[in-house]
Amino acid sequence: MSSTETVSSPVSFRELLRKYDGILYPAFLYAVAMVIIFSGIWVGKNYVARGWEYVSSDTTQVLATMWDAKRLTSIATEGYSWNGDPHKIQNIAYFPLYAVVEKILGVVFPLSNPLTLLAPAVLFGLVSAWAFYRLAGRLLGENPARVALAAYLFYPGNVFFVRAYPVSLMNLLVILTLLALIEGKIWKAALWSGIGSAAGPLMVFLSLTVVIKWAADQWNSLKPAAGSMVSKLAGRLPLGGVFFLVAFSGFVSFLLYQVVAFHDPLAFIRVQEAWEKSGSLIQRIYNFFFLKNMVAQHHPTHFVQAITHGNLKHMDMHVHYLINLFMLVVFAGLLWLQRKAVPWYLTLFALLFLGGYWWFMASVSGIKATVRLIYPVIPAFLGVGVLQERHPELARVSVILFAALSFLESELMMEGFWVI
């Protein structure tokens, strides 16, 4: 070897970690989240009394079939059912995307095996961690992104990473859509949001956000052009129609399916009466403005009685009102923190999603399972990253609080409680 030749030095372990940080760090935190979840499940299975919706002693069977999961699987195995009776619980209430994934897996793997039903949720959760870390890194920087990712993965809704539910898939599609928006790939965002609109009803607010962003871009691009604004806008209407259909493609397809199969495009709404007797539209508006379903009577008293008497079943009917209301306040605060650190359309999506959920809670159902079901409000977790920059001790407390609630949710969920 000549003296002019050089020998490249081996890459150090630290350099290797940094090179693959975007893959390894989210995977590590995801593994920690799994430890928290399954530790809670183990405690719940061995040391918590059975709740009012206890399913089975087999862990994987519980995770794959408990609560609404069994109805999603019934869509994959038996198809949709709707007999026109809005007072009978039927699977037409559930959107099809996760069931489609299960159906595809069923071609190769038996859907009678609960692991087949759980695998997509676990995988989508992991991929969503990678995607969220990229999103947070683009918007906030490395250190805030790490804390935001911890908040995202340790939040108590993470129990759905190991449940046969579409939540982790919805999260992933929200993140991919927001990533495409901040990268200026508006049609790609429309595609992701269109797919997402087939995953759950509130995902239409993601599609609406994409359409509003497209409309704002079109308005800004047309203002300096010659001609009247009316004529310029009219020229963009056909393209706007196509864009709208792409952004809402999953939702529109589900409506068309209901027309063809059941001659009722709103069957998924009508069947909600089987869960909640919501009354007329006027009654719902009254409930919304006067918070009739949001401020339940005697819940603090029952909460104290549940603690002093050790009655978890009693507690289950009341404590979730307090915890969920508290978490709504926390999410509102986090969204306020992140409003200047992220593009306006991320905050818009979060407000639309929470607004839709608030309407449902205030007018129909009351505060139930809010901690879990507002999980797709991704910008709120970015707020924890912003908090890390301003008040790092509060950011750490938030992450620890989320992890503790995750452990609690996992153990109580395993035994059929709805506490959070």
Q: What is the DSSP letter of 156?
A: G
For residue 7, what are its two tokens?
Answer: 């020998």
Torsion, CA 44, CA 50, CA 51, CA 55, rounded to 10: 90
What is the structure's pLDDT at 397?
95
For residue 375, what pLDDT band results from cuts at 50, 70 and 90?
Answer: confident
The one-letter amino acid at 410: S
Say which range, 86-90, 191-195, 277-281, has the weakest mean pLDDT.
Answer: 277-281
Cβ contacts of 178-182, under 8 Å, gap ≥ 24: 178/135, 178/346, 178/349, 178/378, 178/379, 179/131, 179/134, 179/135, 179/138, 181/210, 181/213, 181/343, 181/345, 181/346, 182/135, 182/138, 182/139, 182/343
Rounded to a whole number of angstroms, the CA Rg of the chain reads 23
Is the pLDDT at 287 greater than 70? The verdict is no
This prediction's pTM: 0.89
**What per-residue confidence (pLDDT) applies to 415?**
81
Low-confidence winner among 177-191, 277-291, 381-395 (lowest mean pLDDT): 277-291
Hey, which of 170-179, 320-329, 365-374 has the most confident mean pLDDT? 170-179
Average of per-residue pLDDT across 370-378: 79
Name the DSSP class of 122.
H
State the DSSP H helix or E strand holding residue 205, giving kind and residue range, or none if neither. Answer: helix 204-222
Query: Using an 8 Å Cβ cutoff, are 292 and 377 in contact?
Result: no
Q: What is the pLDDT of residue 19?
A: 76
- CA-based torsion, 234, 238, 239, 240: positive or negative: positive
Which range, 45-59, 89-103, 278-292, has the best average confidence (pLDDT)? Answer: 89-103
